[in-house]
Structure 1
């Protein structure tokens, strides 16, 4: 004998109509829905804590870069303390002198050296990075990337001593191969370029390898299915996609070469005119009376060049990330 179900009034609530039927889901209480909903106050509190976590880095940037940059900018447009007027007055002579004579030659020498070494390192580093990115041996890839990370940060006096001992006038390689008879000299513009390539090529490998790994295999397969050769694939597909990353890597290498100081100072001194060498001479007091702030003007020139480099690098990096994401 079955029992007829109890009729449910038409005006009964949804909970009353479904509460006694198996499998029915009753709506959650209002208190539970309120507890699960995120509160705007908590979201704002989390955002403020995130800014607090980044505050030490921002303070370090302001103290380590912002304040010196402001001091350089102020000093570049004021007279030095050893000037006849006692110093502190506004002037544009420092900046004008920094773009004339030997100082302009040094600035242009640094630009030429940076352009040449960055271009060679980009051309040489690309196939090396491609060999690393396409290698099937994990140990080989890890070893090359680790070595590149070490060599990219190896510079200064140790690097200069290593090259002097190997490719100097009395170096082991120079004497063994008789390079001096063929006009080789480490202490020239060409010799310094070879030294800079020692750390710029590994830096290029580190920079461009992630972009090469971002190339999708479907693109190569699609090109092969359409009858494209490997040269055509690289010319029409891979290189156009990699061009922003290549230009960004070139700009990064230019900045690294332009800012290098210790290696050139320890190896060639003033025999190769470079802007960093001129700044070192000015800071050591090797300037005319009243020209003490000339080093700050030279530093301001380098800051302007570095800002131009970064202005080119950031848009290229964003564009390459859009294609390789």
Structure 2
């Protein structure tokens, strides 16, 4: 008697790959649905609404007001200046913080602590952040009172005001600096030891290394991170509204006024303002993505 053993043949490779891709596509469905409901569809609706008047007729008047209405123009410029100042300050300070914890020779536990704090602080905004700064640097804030009573230094006598351009920029730095640390840290980690060693072998100093090797390699990442910080600050509204109300009318607050209809009530003009904000933030974010992909060539 002879026994026959049947061995199951493996599934064809093409069928296995197709099944894997199918399950991968199914896994992407929740994200695609979320993006469609909260990003794609609202963006499409505001783009359509920006070109309609109150009666639903096509018009370019809403977009024209973005360039001719002095209130809207000044609000755009104010938002751009606040975003630029906070992005520049956040990039500068965040770069040196990242350098200290990654390349500065500090204890290893400090990197973990700073990165954990940065992850939390970069998302701390809105009413809690505004209240924290008012309780700290307001006219009767803790630091203000301590400086006045213990050191005899009146902070507000110098012209400082938390409810001003400088004050709002200072508040924005609270989440801009940690975000810069999170974004630039991987780029600093990508600096290879062989580059520093080669510089030393060729007789280069530490200054030569940073001027000719490290900074040129990091520059696209630094510039891209700065653009990301700009976009992050340009779209922020809750912190500014809770801190200053309408006394510092940045463009997101103007958008709220048009949509909510407190005194002004032109939703279609609000759509046009939102469309202009989307264009500016998209350009900044797009440039950041391109610069990031460019810089990643060096750290692969």
TM-score by length of 1: 0.84
Structure 2 CA distance for aligned equivalents of residues 311 and 282 of structure 1 = 28
Q: From the CA coordinates, give the structure whose radius of gyration is larger.
A: 1
- Structure 1 distance, partners of 2:119, 2:11, is 47
How far residue 288 of structure 1 moved from its aligned partner, in angstroms, is 5.0
Deviations along 1:202-237, one digit per CA (max 9) or x if unpaired, are 110111111111100111111111111111110100
SS of residue in 1 equivalent to 2:252: helix
Aligned to 1:314: 289
Structure 2 Cα separation of the partners of residues 183 and 315 of structure 1: 41
For residue 124 of structure 2, give the secondary structure of its aligned residue in structure 1: coil
* CA contact 2:258–2:264 (8 Å) conserved in 1: no
Q: How far does the alpha carbon of each residue in 1:93-142 deviate from its partner, in whole angstroms, 9 at most, with x for none? A: 11111332101110111111111111111111111101111345232111
The 3-state SS of whatever aligns with 2:94 is helix
Residue 158 of structure 1: aligned partner: 128
CA distance in 1, matches of 2:231, 2:137: 26
Q: Secondary structure at the match of 2:296?
A: helix
Structure 1 residues without counterparts, runs of 5 or longer: 1-30, 81-86
1:255 aligned onto 2:231? yes
My pick for the range that moved more, 44-53 or 66-75, is 44-53
1:224 to 200, 205, 214: 200
* Count of residues in correspondence between the two structures: 287
Deviation, 1:310, is 2.0
Aligned equivalent of 2:101: 132
Are 1:143 and 2:108 an aligned pair?
no
Residue 170 of structure 1: aligned partner: 140
2:66 maps to what in 1?
98
1:44 and 2:18 matched: yes
Unaligned runs of 5+ in 2: 1-5, 148-152
Q: Superposition pairs for residues 68-217 of structure 1, below 5 Å?
A: 68-80=42-54, 87-99=55-67, 100-134=69-103, 135=105, 137-175=107-145, 176=147, 177-217=153-193
CA distance in 1, matches of 2:21, 2:135: 55
Aligned counterparts of 2:56 and 2:277: Cα–Cα separation in 1: 23
| Alpha-carbon spacing, 1:63–1:221, altered in 2? closer, same or farther (3 Å) | same
**Separation in 2, partners of 1:295, 1:314:** 28
Please give the root-mean-square deviation of Cα atoms over the aligned residues, in Å: 1.8
* Alignment deviations for residues 11-39 of structure 1 (CA, whole Å, 9 cap, x no partner): xxxxxxxxxxxxxxxxxxxx98x946843
Checking the alignment, whether the CA contact within 8 Å between 2:122 and 2:175 is kept in structure 1 is: yes
Q: Match of 2:3? A: none
**TM-score, normalisation: structure 2:** 0.91
